[in-house]
Chains A and B, each alone.
Chain A
Amino acid sequence: MINITVIDRKGEDHLLETPTDMGLNLMELCKAYELPVLGTCGGMALCSTCHVYVLSDHQLKEMTEDEEIILDQAFSVRDNSRLGCQIHLSDDLDGLKVQLAPDGN
């Protein structure tokens, strides 16, 4: 099990505990905890409804072309923007801290 902190759009912290042996990604985890993440496309990196800002300095896997294309069309994008569905939860992400990007993606 690892712990992940997600700051919602009201600025409230949520500490989420998650297993790492179920192939979960961050979008799915947020949905499981009923945080306001739509995940419309189901995790294919086709929409940007799971757009987050990564606040901790964890080393994440490099973006795929698909993710870059979608983030390129997203709004309120910053240097630390990622798609939650492309962050696969593994042991080295224990303590990861992210913030949900504003609505409108």
Chain B
Amino acid sequence: MITNSAKKLHDSANIHYDVETDILIIGAGPVGLFTVFEAGLVKLRCHLIDTLPMPGGQLTEIYPKKPIYDIPGFPEILAGDLVTNLMKQIEPFKPGFTLGERAEKIEKQNDGRFVVTSNKGTVHLASVVAIAGGLGCFEPRKPPIANIEDFEDKGVAYIIKNPEIYAGKKLLIAGGGDSALDWTIYLSNIAKEVTMVHRRTEFRGAPDSVEKIKDLAESGKINLITNAEVVNLHGNGHLQSASIRKTDDSILTQDVDFFIPLFGLSPQLGPIADWGLNISKNAIDVDTFDYSTNVPGIYAIGDINNYPGKLKLILCGFHEATLMVQSAWKRINPERKLTLKYTTVNGVQGFE
């Protein structure tokens, strides 16, 4: 999903770009969002990409209702409110967003600009790339079953995109949280047979859903196996059956067409790990002069970078973004000189 961007054709190379901007920011968390403000002050335009469907990163996705106490000037602010405020603060600079897509591939053009393509094929052209990726991309957690990858897209799915494909099929769902409960309830009306496997007897989900699951199990509409884990998958090309181990170590093998493990999301560095950047301790090495990486024109700010003395704090990310923008400006305007202007003196001059 792209918002607020003009479709443009790049004449010289005759390549189609969906988005053209000065700074492409990867990650729409607090640090990525604040970058738009600092860039706007020096008349640079920004576009943000994020795998999540909403801006705000972890703050929106994981802890919107948790208070933060170390944002200067805010004795206490809820994470969700900080994102709302940042969105309001950057509004005059009209950032574009590519949401629900992951930055997958980067290429440097002959003119020094970068082409970043998302997993859904959206092509972005930018003079500077700022990676503000936080903990990385939130990806579904894969259970430690040795051969699970062999059956990915051949019966194993971590995300349910199109529930209709399960009509008339035998499903095995694992997990005990809300998403496992909700999908089991939903799919019990579509599939031929639904088995739910959960490691414990109790469920952590919404009480209504837990009640519903118990009713479905009692009436025989689903097959509920608790105190059990899926430990092995079998099939020839496509998944055919799964081994389930109970806590008493007994193993039962069940015929299934699909196995859907739903164990929430966990952050992974993702495709950025393969962009030729220097990485140590799961983070991108930067020069603290301007938070540049080893690739000129690519910067890394916020939780995703690493340097001596690094602290993973939102407030440090704001500082990093501010200095990074100065360096980005000089890269884009090599012949010109930049002078610091105070917002108190000049106000905020938004873009048309």
Interface residues of A (CB under 8 A from B): 38, 40-42, 44, 46-48, 68-69, 72-77, 102, 104
Contacts and interface: CB of A to CB of B under 8 A. Distances in A.
Contact of B141 (A38, A42, A73): A73
30 contacts: A38-B282, A40-B135, A40-B266, A40-B282, A41-B135, A42-B312, A44-B62, A44-B63, A44-B66, A46-B62, A46-B63, A47-B266, A48-B266, A69-B177, A69-B204, A72-B176, A72-B177, A72-B199, A72-B204, A73-B141, A73-B175, A73-B176, A73-B263, A74-B263, A75-B141, A75-B143, A75-B263, A76-B144, A102-B144, A104-B142
Contacts of A72: 176-177, 199-200, 204
Given A69-B204, A75-B143, A40 B267 contact: yes
B264 interface: yes
Contacts of B199: 72, 77
A77 B202 CA distance: 14
B19 to A, nearest CB: 30
A42 B9 CA distance: 43
Contact of A47 (B63, B66, B177, B267): B267
A74 B177 CA distance: 11
Contacts of A73: 141, 175-177, 263-264
A17 B285 CA distance: 31
Interface string B245-270: 00000000000000000011011000
Contacts of B266: 40, 47-48
A2 B75 CA distance: 35
Nearest to B198: A72
B212 to A, nearest CB: 18
Contacts of B282: 38, 40
A42 to B, nearest CB: 6
Contacts of B144: 75-76, 102, 104
10 interchain residue pairs of minimum CB distance: A104-B144, A73-B264, A73-B263, A72-B204, A75-B144, A69-B204, A72-B176, A47-B266, A46-B62, A75-B143
Nearest to B143: A75
Most B CB within 10 A of own CB, among A42, A73, A104: A73
A44 B267 CA distance: 14
Contacts of A69: 177, 204
A101 to B, nearest CB: 11
For B62, B142, B204, which residue has the most chain A Cβ atoms within 10 angstroms? B204
Contacts of B200: 72
